[in-house]
Structure 1
Amino acid sequence: MDSLSSTSLFGWLRFKHLVLLTTLDQSRNMHAAARAMHLSQPAASKMLRDLEAYFGVALFERLPRAMQPTELGEQVIRHAWRLLNDADRLVSDINDLREGGYGKLLIGAIAAAAPEILPAAIARLKRQRPRLSVSLQELTSDRLLVELEYKRLDLVIGRLTHVSQHNQFDFEPLRDEPLRVVVRRGHPLAAGDGMPDLATLSRWPWILHPMTSPMRGVFEAALAAQGVASPDDVVETTSIQATLQLLLNSDMLAVLPWSVLRRPLESGQYVLLERVIGKPLDYYGIITRRDEPQSTAARALIEHLRELARQAPGDEIA
């Protein structure tokens, strides 16, 4: 097969091909994909065969009850998502500008950045650009990086979750985060003398982030270092508000970053136990797609984040 070129590819590829790939990626079923695209199944099947003939390889494995992307198919689908999201963003930005707006900024952030530094940076940006539309999505780093890769976000305030990701993203550190154990005021552990060891603490019910999150990784590593099994009684959530409410209404324990806990502790409803779990979380920071220019709004937000991060931890952020 002759080598492909971007010129020949974009001369042949059509928008409907991209839609078929992403729709099949979601449904894993040709009949469902054809129905979603308002096509007959034979027409959709022919489109896929044409794509596979062009690339010279199978993009999906035909299984009895599903269609599974091949290894190369996963790469093609990944780029199809990026191209479609780029097109959606172009239309959105043009409509926004035609209606008198000043663009849109899509931000993803982990919980540690959301309580203080990021809202303060957004407030500063909005004072400069009051008509800028800002969207903020709060998730764990692993999920945010998928959104960033597929161009559903402009930048992420979070952590890289795999050593290889430095090839894909640029990372600029902002702050590290000590993890603390928190309970409700009046919890039996808060009233006792001394601090139980990790083996005793692990027998209590816990509220924790999912296993894929860096915060959970630090917690599990601390247990493993002392030969302690993971807790059996666990609620997994990334929601800070749900965590705080569960703490108030139970004898559960949670492990959270200090930046998240500072303001809730001021209410007097929560108590920190005298234990720091594991090493501090690695620095969270600004993550952007490598070798891709940032919009003026994104660059302005990054400058505000840098300035706020330079403040001492005890300084007032405004």
Structure 2
Amino acid sequence: MKYLPKLQQIKVFNEVIRCGSIRAAAREMNQSQPALTRALKELENHIGATLLVRSNEGVTLTEVGSAFAVRAHLILEELEKAADEIEQINNNTYGRVAFGISSLFGVTILSSVIKDFKKSHPRTLINIKEAQLSTLLPSLRDGRLDFALGTLTDQMPLGDFRIIPLFDAPFCVVGRKNHPLINCRSMQDLAKASWVIPETDMGYYHYIRQFVPFDYPDGPSSPVLTDSTVCIMNLVINNDYLTILAQARLNEPRFGCVLSALPIGQSSLPMGHYGLIYPRKRPLTQAAQAMVEQLKWYCQQHHWGGR
């Protein structure tokens, strides 16, 4: 390829994918359908491959188109971030930062972090996504998130990320106060318990499946899997479900008054190793770096152990 594609061609391609059809994209971009069709044809001729298959139902990406779409989206994301950062430097405008967190940060230090960050960046747009770190990886890789915080394990594929270790935190089995199994002292005693745990195919909650009898053959039911903290808390507080939580969560009055840790030996569950990650090939913007520094400072100040 002697020359790179034109930026407008990439923008048209990206918008057609987002909208699902050339007609919808033309309406969204306030351009004619023939103009978008021509731009897509020029892009395909330039690349030397078919990117989209058109039909009455819309467009479908080819194998080449799927591969190109990932890079095209990233190119536009990075250009937009660069433009925003330059505008922020030149005109002291708002900027923006997007990051992902596991729920532990949301119920502990996040409000203080945001409060302090806003003192020096009052007009910065902040976007936060809550999920397990494994769920956040695609958004980190395609540029939708600047960085993310969560539990790290050796099995996670993080070779393309920079890793900043934050802290270690003990975990415990948790149920509502007066749960029928609240005095159990071993994992074996929980073989027939009902469980609700975060859904993930890697990371801490995937790793501890070997230590906890989630799938006991004679148990009352299979575990409930969800990435919704609201669902987990409601099932644990209002029903006889058990879950696994960082002990630091129980230090928060709103949870400590209704939840209790079962007296199971701390060695029964491995320590959770928390860290912050961001892509190696994509530098943090000034706003994102400032947010990272705030998060690191509050992580150092907070007590992450048990009571």
Q: TM-score range by the shorter chain?
A: 0.7 to 0.9
Partner of 1:137: 129
Give, in whole Å, the separation in 2 of the partners of 1:286 and 1:86. Answer: 20
Give, in whole Å, the separation in 2 of the partners of 1:193 and 1:69. Answer: 54
Partner of 2:276: 286
Counterpart of 2:229, as a letter, is I
Partner of 2:291: 301
Q: What runs of 5+ residues in structure 1 fail to find an aligned partner?
A: none
Give, in whole Å, the separation in 2 of the partners of 1:159 and 1:251. Answer: 26
Give, in whole Å, the separation in 2 of the partners of 1:231 and 1:42. Answer: 60
Corresponding residue to 2:258 among 260, 265, 269: 269
Matches within 5 A, 1:7-86: 8-9=3-4, 12-15=5-8, 17-26=9-18, 29=21, 32-33=24-25, 36-37=28-29, 44-60=36-52, 67-86=59-78
Deviations 1:93-141 (A, max 9, x none): 67777886453333321223333344444444344x1525251332221
Number of residues of Structure 1 aligned to a counterpart in Structure 2: 300
Give the alignment's Cα RMSD to 1 decimal: 3.8
Corresponding residue to 2:191 among 188, 200, 225: 200
Report if aligned partners of 1:221, 1:278 keep a CA contact under 8 Å in 2: no
Say whether 1:251 aligns with 2:259.
no
Structure-2 change in CA distance of 1:76 and 1:159 (3 Å): farther
Q: What runs of 5+ residues in structure 2 fail to find an aligned partner?
A: none
Q: TM-score, normalised by structure 2?
A: 0.76
Deviations 1:204-239 (A, max 9, x none): 2x2221233524312433358x98469844443323
Q: Aligned with 1:125: secondary structure? A: helix
Query: How far is the alpha carbon of 1:193 from its aligned partner?
Result: 5.3
Report if aligned partners of 1:183, 1:254 keep a CA contact under 8 Å in 2: yes
Counterpart of 1:211, as a letter, is T
Give, in whole Å, the separation in 2 of the partners of 1:287 and 1:231. Answer: 39
Give, in whole Å, the separation in 2 of the partners of 1:68 and 1:160. Answer: 36
Structure-2 change in CA distance of 1:26 and 1:268 (3 Å): same
Query: How far is the alpha carbon of 1:53 from its aligned partner?
Result: 1.7
Comparing 177-186 and 261-270, the one that deviates more: 261-270
Question: Percent identity, aligned pairs only?
Answer: 25
Counterpart of 1:139, as a letter, is A
Structure-2 change in CA distance of 1:65 and 1:234 (3 Å): farther
Structure-2 change in CA distance of 1:280 and 1:194 (3 Å): closer
Report if aligned partners of 2:103, 2:131 keep a CA contact under 8 Å in 1: yes
Counterpart of 2:249, as a letter, is V
Counterpart of 1:165, as a letter, is L
Give, in whole Å, the separation in 2 of the partners of 1:240 and 1:122. Answer: 20
Matches within 5 A, 1:53-202: 53-60=45-52, 67-89=59-81, 101-127=93-119, 129-133=120-124, 135=126, 136-159=128-151, 163-166=156-159, 168-190=160-182, 192=183, 194-195=185-186, 197=188, 200-201=191-192
Query: How far is the alpha carbon of 1:181 from its aligned partner?
Result: 1.7
Structure-2 change in CA distance of 1:199 and 1:193 (3 Å): closer
Counterpart of 2:226, as a letter, is T
Give, in whole Å, the separation in 2 of the partners of 1:249 and 1:142. Answer: 28
Q: TM-score, normalised by structure 1?
A: 0.74
Report if aligned partners of 1:140, 1:213 keep a CA contact under 8 Å in 2: no
Give, in whole Å, the separation in 2 of the partners of 1:227 and 1:250. Answer: 19
Counterpart of 2:39, as a letter, is M
